[in-house]
Structure 1
Amino acid sequence: MSAKSRLPSSTSTHPFWRTELHPLDSHRSTPELPVETDVVIVGAGFAGAALAYFLYQDNPSPPSVTILEAREACSGATARNGGHLKPDVYFNVPKYIKKYGVKAAVEVANFEASQVLAVKELVEKEKIDCQFTLTRACDATLDEGLARETEEAFHVLQASGDADLKDVHYTPRDRAERVSGVKGALNCFTFTAGHIWPYKLVMHLLQRVVDQGANLQTHTPVLHIADTPRASDGRWLVSTARGDVLARKVLLATNAYTAHLAPQFTDRIVPVRGICSRIKVPEGRTPPFLSQTYSVRHGPGVYDYLIPRNDGSIIVGGGKPLFWHDRSQWYDVTDDSELIAPAVKHFDGLMQRTFINWEDSGAYTDKVWTGIMGWTSDFMPYIGAVPDKPGQFVVAGFSGHGMPLILLSAKGVAQMVKDDVPFEQTGVPSVFKATKERLASTKNEILEGHSADPKARL
């Protein structure tokens, strides 16, 4: 992939989460851009809103903060995901142990697990009406080979005592179908998780910081950030479609679009398009009860994820078996204005063929949309100071797994920005740190083992 100057699409598919728009959705705190500011935050999704929130929290002398968003507030990946606050507390831990060692792998798992209760605490503290629901996530496996592999890895992890698995419950195949409710489940694992209305969470945080003095400028795409800071005062020139802003600190909450403004992230944070849907039952019918959120694993790297919403509808994402072989549909794609055509039909009848007692529910696909994720070439996010760019910081590259990573990552970076706390003291896992070594690597784990054969195991 070559470096491309790309911005979010000017038009986009319409996700369910953006059906009840907040007054700040298209908002400019001032008619013109400020000429200068202490901090520019690029991006008004979960990462950008959380960064601003923590910059103001418990800060009697907060910096001046300007938030620049290319489209509407919270119109990118955060408003297009599954609303699933699901940590990875066991599945990838064995792989991370082999790659990074026990300490780093456990650090990542514990960090993810802590996010669920951190979001719960935030929602309760700020009285955020985002339909936060604390529940259990259920990973149900349908593929024989993956089931055996997952069970073996889990038992080895249990025996080693390396990871904290107290909250993980394993159900073997003789009971997996009944415990999970998933037809043909060969095993299942459950653990604490949550689900929310992500747009409402982000907009509440944005309202909070705007009320505290932050300047929110939507429909203001950033076109360029100067290659070097100004020699006279070390400030960065941030150029937008509406003019320039001088900033002492620049915080990139740009996820899939990071390389557009920071070319050193080209091929390190890659735009990846996904597809998501809302499924509901006909008016007058009561949907069968689902008490958990789910990942239904069809094979290695192939799964559907879903949450049962409080209104009885289901948010489902995935559909990989129908399009993943064709890289042009998803890899290095920044256009969320079009659906992934081969995958649209995947959601029709999905509840009936997947879950016990849904056969006669009449469940149908109500809405389908696409979103652009930022996948990293090593599947770890980039958090912290941008190497060789003094005053620039990044919170991006969540590989479709941002909900259980963003809040405390943003909190850590906010500590670095306002209190000069070293990365190592933020509580953010060491393997998330943005380093020269990671940026210099040419390894691309996204495409490792990828096949153009639609029948191949993915």
Structure 2
Amino acid sequence: MPARTQELPIRADNSSAAASPIAGTSKCLPSHMPGETFWQTSRHHLHDHRSSEELPSHSDIVIIGAGYAGVATAYHLVKDHPSLNKSITILEARGACSGATGRNGGHARPDFYGHIPTYMDRAGAEAGAEIAEFEIRNLRALKKTIEQEKIDCDFTLTRSIDVWCNADSASKAKAVYDRMTAEGLEYMEDVAFYTGNEVEGICGVKDAKACASFTAGTMWPYKFIMRLVELIVDAGVNLHTHTPATSVSPDGEGGFIIDTPRGKMHANKVVYANNAYVSGILPQYKKNIVPCKGICCRITVPEGVTAPLLNNSYINRTEDNVLSYLIPRADGSIIVGGAAAIFKKHEDQWYDNVDDSVLIDSAKDYYNNYMQRTYRGWENTAAKIDQIWTGVMGYSYDSNPHIGAVPGEKDQYILAGFNGHGMPVIWLSAKELAQMIVNDIPFEKTTMPRLFQTSQFRIDRALNGKPEDGDILGSGKFAATKP
């Protein structure tokens, strides 16, 4: 199915995004014509917002990127620090929440079985457990904020089910479960693991050999972020969409000059929250955070057909170990994506690629009849893809985000490189980063997992290593080194 395109958004000054001659011309800037996604079918009135006709000449804090990371950082700056008497400006290359956050699967799912054992092997059980526990707290904090701010974003707290249809993989997953349980980790008390003949009946996935369940969340990510945008704009944060930051340079007096196609502005502090595109301004992160495309779609049943009820979110692994993530929606539709094993060998279609206007060709048909071939009870529903899209994520060399003060650079901060796993970590990370910015405290004084800290060691390891030795394309041969 070909990617759908949309007309260029119209700005407040009645010009289109095409008016920026820089947008879409660099691998480190997003395409100016992203493919259509279900989440943004109805555009928010602040999607293309500019707080003023002219770019401000100065702002105390400039945040680059109006996705989850940038908006969450601004929210915590103004909400958690009400006495902060500083001007804040967000610069966004396209519309607000038009990048990975507005194109993902809506899954706020802590990581129990993915990389946690790897992190334990690399840095010890305590360091690995820090990440899992942080992500659990992140989910609870999200729920609390959504309730307190009365954000209408279809948030649900549910059980997420990990499913293995390959017998060997199921056995390895059970060994991981046993290992994690033996570690005495408190968060494992929320996990239930199943094997045997009844697994398929428990999870509803055909030919399932094992499954595990634990608490997770689902939401409409675009609605969540855009409500936060409303709140921060009302609080006085300046938002300038279709204004890509193309360079940041010192002014010689302790501040910074930020170049954009609309002119220059001055800042005292800069936050890089542009995820996959961060190396366009911070070249030292070129091999540390690489833009990688993923695929996601919405599946519906024909009018008059009642979709079988699914109450859980899923991570499904087929017999040939193709992984998909899935969330059900109250309207009966399904959001599903992943399939990286299908397109991984076609590197030109996804690796170091920022063109989210076209689909990943080798995987664009994978989700045809997905529900019928995967779930019991869906065989005769005629479920089919309603919309399909791509998104550009920032994948890090070692699978951990880069957060904190940019090494060797005063008053510059980074919050990027989420490996397609930003929903479970960004909210509290942004809260902690805001404390670093306001109170000038080091990373070690925050509650963030130690492996999230950006460092010169991590930067150099990626710059000096081969791509296939990292986690993105290879198996992470640096496992024996310190983080």
Q: Report TM bin, short chain.
A: over 0.9
Partner of residue 453, structure 2? 433
Instruction: String of CA shifts for 1:269-318, please: whole Å, max 9, x gaps.
Output: 01110010000011111110001000001369730101001211100101
TM-score, normalised by the number of residues in structure 2? 0.90
Distance 1:52 1:67 in 2: 8
Instruction: String of CA shifts for 1:415-451, please: whole Å, max 9, x gaps.
Output: 001122321222110110010100000252211159x
Distance 1:368 1:93 in 2: 30
Q: Which runs of 5+ in 2 are unaligned?
A: 1-25, 477-483
Partner of residue 456, structure 1? none
User: Partner amino acid for 1:16?
Assistant: F
Where does structure 1 differ by over 6 angstroms across 4 or more consecutive aligned residues?
none
Note the 1:8-27 alignment, pairs <5 A.
8-27=30-49
Partner of residue 23, structure 2? none
Note the 1:104-115 alignment, pairs <5 A.
104-115=127-138
User: Partner amino acid for 1:120?
Assistant: K
Partner of residue 268, structure 1? 288
1:28 aligns with 2:50: yes
| Contact map agreement 1:259 1:266 (CA 8 A) in 2 | yes
| Contact map agreement 1:96 1:105 (CA 8 A) in 2 | yes
1:444 aligns with 2:467: no
- Following superposition, the deviation at residue 6 of structure 1 comes to 2.6
Q: Which runs of 5+ in 1 are unaligned?
A: 451-458
Distance 1:327 1:173 in 2: 38
User: Partner amino acid for 1:20?
Assistant: S
Distance 1:6 1:178 in 2: 46
Distance 2:27 2:251 in 1: 23
Distance 2:474 2:50 in 1: 43
Which 10-residue stretch deviates more, 378-387 or 162-171? 162-171
Residues matched between the structures, number: 444
| Contact map agreement 2:166 2:321 (CA 8 A) in 1 | no
Note the 1:66-215 alignment, pairs <5 A.
66-162=89-185, 164-215=187-238
Over the aligned positions, Cα root-mean-square deviation in angstroms equals 1.4
| Contact map agreement 2:432 2:447 (CA 8 A) in 1 | yes
| Contact map agreement 1:255 1:395 (CA 8 A) in 2 | yes
Instruction: String of CA shifts for 1:314-345, please: whole Å, max 9, x gaps.
Output: 00101234322211111111110111122121
- Following superposition, the deviation at residue 41 of structure 1 comes to 0.5
Distance 1:395 1:343, change over 3 A: same
User: Which secondary structure does the structure 2 equivalent of 1:346 belong to?
Assistant: coil
- Following superposition, the deviation at residue 60 of structure 1 comes to 2.3
- Following superposition, the deviation at residue 231 of structure 1 comes to 2.2
Instruction: String of CA shifts for 1:356-401, please: whole Å, max 9, x gaps.
Output: 1000111110000000000000000001100111111011000000
| Contact map agreement 1:74 1:202 (CA 8 A) in 2 | yes
Note the 1:308-387 alignment, pairs <5 A.
308-387=328-407
User: Which secondary structure does the structure 1 equivalent of 2:364 belong to?
Assistant: helix
User: Which secondary structure does the structure 2 equivalent of 1:256 belong to?
Assistant: helix
| Contact map agreement 1:290 1:308 (CA 8 A) in 2 | yes
User: Partner amino acid for 1:414?
Assistant: A
User: Partner amino acid for 1:189?
Assistant: A
Which 10-residue stretch deviates more, 83-92 or 20-29? 83-92
| Contact map agreement 1:106 1:163 (CA 8 A) in 2 | no
User: Which secondary structure does the structure 2 equivalent of 1:50 belong to?
Assistant: helix
Distance 2:106 2:78 in 1: 26
User: Which secondary structure does the structure 2 equivalent of 1:231 belong to?
Assistant: coil
Distance 1:402 1:436, change over 3 A: same
